[in-house]
């Protein structure tokens, strides 16, 4: 990134005179003072600590300029841009840089699958274009402007993951990024505690279209009736995806294996594969491919990229335990729709050993938590799953629901405080030929269980 102080000051509507510093050029932006590099603009955000307190550290690490809140005493010996609100100025600067560089912007959201779809989309587009994507889970009002200001100057396609915790979140992100293409992967139950109903979640997800360019494309699932009433108000082009010809484009799964899924798209005779399990991931690949085709990527390049795609860690990731058992780690987030999908796929995976599952609490489900945790019983049976390890207070209702349907001792429950006991039992139970699925919300810390078993 290269921005002069003068254009930066103009972009953020700086309140102070910075003429004496006009020769300064910034080559990056950073809000973590420990990560500041030479030439960076420091963004002192307010969190548990006020970022303004860390100016000296940022300066030591090479910052050449800082945004600065008008309510904080101004340093005498360091150039700052005084603004009404640092976070808003950060976002406005990102918007300015985006409009200056003009990459094609692809925005992706969904209750499940948005990170995987983002990764697949970026990987496929990178076969043909200079592509940059949201790193990790930097998908909120801080992470997205950070992503934009971190993209290389020659970026042609920018793939942005957009997260949502509350109503209005996606409106802000979409109107900031003004995407050319927007996609909704799934309407699930994530953050039901804050939204109350799935209908409200659907409405929140549709905010991704609020900033969609007039000639833009919105991609949505065909099998989600909650979206239909909102789509009536969309003037831009809409394309649907799904499992059958009721969708504009659909995917047919030909084989589900432990470490790959083989499928075919409606728009190509080519047999496709991805090195991750689960038919739901074939749907994610369909969305990525629809975006890529729209932008001119060949089917040959799409197929080769999907076969080699590298996904963000802890999202349907196979790892091996110390005794040789294969573990399917999907511990970054969880909602009932996502947990049901991965359980269904895992239950059919071939193995000469036993299938075991560790399920932790799904958080932020509000008053529906009991019913939704109990509903996982529909995806668990003793014929396909040898043993079920339930972890957390919310999972106690699932224990009570299924314990009589399994042999004695085949369903066990642990409180969150008993993580070490869970680890020890798993170490005792796991055999070399076994398959183990671990799925929970990130807040349950099941990644620690994965690491202990490795």
19-28, 199-208, 211-220, 285-294: least confident range: 19-28
Given this model, what pLDDT does residue 315 score? 66
Residue 282 inside a domain? The answer is: yes
Residue 252 inside a domain? The answer is: yes
Report the pLDDT averaged over residues 366-387.
Answer: 95
Same domain, 120 and 240: yes
Residue 240 known to bind ligand = no
Average pLDDT along the chain:
94
Least Cα distance to 377 among 392, 395, 352 occurs for 395
Q: Specify whether the CB–CB gap between 105 and 158 falls below 8 A.
A: yes
Report the pLDDT averaged over residues 167-174.
Answer: 96
What's the CA gap between 324 and 45, in Å, rounded?
A: 45
Same domain, 247 and 138: yes
410: how many CB neighbours lie within 10 A of its CB? 16
51-55, 85-89, 186-190, 212-216: least confident range: 186-190
**Residue 24 CB contacts under 8 Å (≥ 6 apart), including other chains:** 4, 5, 64, 65, 79
Given this model, what pLDDT does residue 137 score? 84
Residue 366 known to bind ligand = no
In the block, tokens 């269904």 appear at: 344
**pTM for this prediction:** 0.86
List the CATH number of the domain containing 112.
Answer: 3.40.1190.10
Q: Is the pLDDT of residue 408 over 90?
A: yes
CA angle 40, 132, 291 (to 5 degrees): 155
> 411 by DSSP, 3-state: which?
strand
Residue 257 known to bind ligand = no
CA angle 129, 145, 221 (to 5 degrees): 65
Same domain, 189 and 283: yes
- Of 58, 85, 112, which residue constitutes the final position of a domain? 85
Residue 13 inside a domain? The answer is: yes
Residue 296 known to bind ligand = no
Residue 110 known to bind ligand = yes
Report the pLDDT averaged over residues 348-375.
Answer: 94
What's the CA gap between 180 and 168, in Å, rounded?
A: 20
Q: Specify whether the CB–CB gap between 138 and 150 falls below 8 A.
A: no
CA angle 389, 316, 394 (to 5 degrees): 35
What's the CA gap between 148 and 171, in Å, rounded?
A: 17
Least Cα distance to 201 among 235, 165, 241 occurs for 165
Given this model, what pLDDT does residue 333 score? 83
Same domain, 267 and 155: yes
Least Cα distance to 452 among 405, 417, 420, 418 occurs for 420
- Of 85, 112, 144, which residue constitutes the final position of a domain? 85
Same domain, 294 and 151: yes
- Of 273, 288, 308, which residue constitutes the final position of a domain? 308
Of the two residues 137 and 140, the one the predictor is more confident about is: 140
Q: Place 313 in a pLDDT band, splitting at 50, 70 and 90.
A: low
Q: Is the pLDDT of residue 398 over 90?
A: yes
Residue 405 known to bind ligand = no
16: how many CB neighbours lie within 10 A of its CB? 14
What's the CA gap between 297 and 127, in Å, rounded?
A: 8
Residue 234 inside a domain? The answer is: yes
List the CATH number of the domain containing 61.
Answer: 3.40.1390.10
Given this model, what pLDDT does residue 300 score? 97
Same domain, 299 and 174: yes
Report the pLDDT averaged over residues 220-241.
Answer: 95
Residue 392 known to bind ligand = no
Domain that holds residue 246: 102-308
Domain count, the chain: 3
Same domain, 187 and 135: yes
| Beta strands across the sheet bearing 65-69 | 28-30, 40-42, 65-69, 80-83
Given this model, what pLDDT does residue 196 score? 82
- State the Rg of the chain over Cα: 24
In the block, tokens 């949201």 appear at: 134
List the CATH number of the domain containing 347.
Answer: 3.90.190.20
Same domain, 161 and 287: yes
**β-bridge partners, 329:** 317, 438
Report the pLDDT averaged over residues 196-206.
Answer: 91
Same domain, 392 and 284: no
């Amino acid at each position: 990134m290269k921005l002069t102080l003068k254009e930066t000051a103009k972009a953020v509507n700086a309140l102070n005179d910075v003429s004496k510093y006009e020769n300064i050029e910034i080559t990056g932006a950073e809000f973590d003072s420990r990560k500041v590099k030479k030439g960076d603009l420091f963004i002192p955000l307010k969190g548990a600590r006020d970022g303004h307190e860390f100016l000296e550290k940022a300066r030591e690490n090479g910052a050449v300029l800082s945004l600065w809140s008008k309510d904080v005493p101004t340093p005498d010996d360091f150039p700052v841009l005084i603004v009404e609100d640092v976070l808003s100025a950060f976002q406005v600067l990102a918007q300015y840089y985006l409009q200056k560089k003009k990459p094609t912007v692809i925005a992706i959201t969904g209750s499940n699958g948005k990170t995987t779809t983002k990764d697949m989309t970026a990987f496929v587009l990178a076969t043909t274009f200079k592509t940059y994507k949201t790193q990790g889970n930097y998908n909120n009002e801080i992470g997205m402007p950070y992503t934009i200001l971190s993209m290389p100057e020659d970026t042609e396609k920018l793939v942005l993951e957009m997260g949502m915790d509350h109503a209005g979140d996606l409106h802000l992100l979409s109107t900031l990024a003004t995407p050319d293409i927007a996609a909704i992967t799934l309407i699930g139950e994530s953050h039901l505690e804050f939204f109350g109903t799935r209908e409200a979640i659907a409405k929140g997800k549709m905010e991704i279209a609020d900033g969609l360019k007039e000639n833009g494309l919105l991609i949505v699932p065909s099998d989600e009736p909650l979206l239909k009433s909102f789509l009536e108000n969309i003037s831009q082009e809409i394309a649907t995806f799904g499992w059958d010809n009721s969708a504009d484009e659909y995917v047919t799964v030909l084989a589900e294996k432990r470490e790959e899924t083989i499928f075919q798209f409606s728009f190509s005779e080519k047999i496709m594969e991805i090195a991750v399990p689960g038919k739901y991931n074939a749907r994610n690949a369909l969305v990525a491919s629809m975006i890529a085709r729209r932008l001119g990527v060949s089917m040959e390049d799409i197929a080769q990229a999907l076969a080699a795609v590298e996904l963000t860690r802890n999202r349907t990731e196979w790892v091996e335990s110390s005794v040789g058992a294969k573990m399917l780690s999907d511990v970054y987030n969880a909602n009932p729709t996502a947990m049901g999908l991965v359980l269904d796929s895992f239950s059919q995976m071939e193995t000469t050993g036993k299938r075991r599952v560790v399920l932790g609490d799904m958080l932020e489900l509000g008053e529906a938590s009991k019913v939704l945790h109990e509903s996982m019983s529909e995806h668990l049976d003793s014929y396909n799953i040898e043993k079920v390890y339930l972890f957390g207070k919310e999972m106690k209702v699932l224990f009570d629901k299924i314990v009589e349907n399994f042999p004695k001792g085949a369903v066990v429950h642990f409180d969150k405080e008993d993580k070490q006991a869970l680890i020890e039992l798993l170490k005792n139970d796991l055999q070399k030929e076994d398959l183990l699925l671990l799925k929970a919300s990130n807040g349950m810390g099941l990644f620690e269980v994965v690491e202990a078993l490795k």
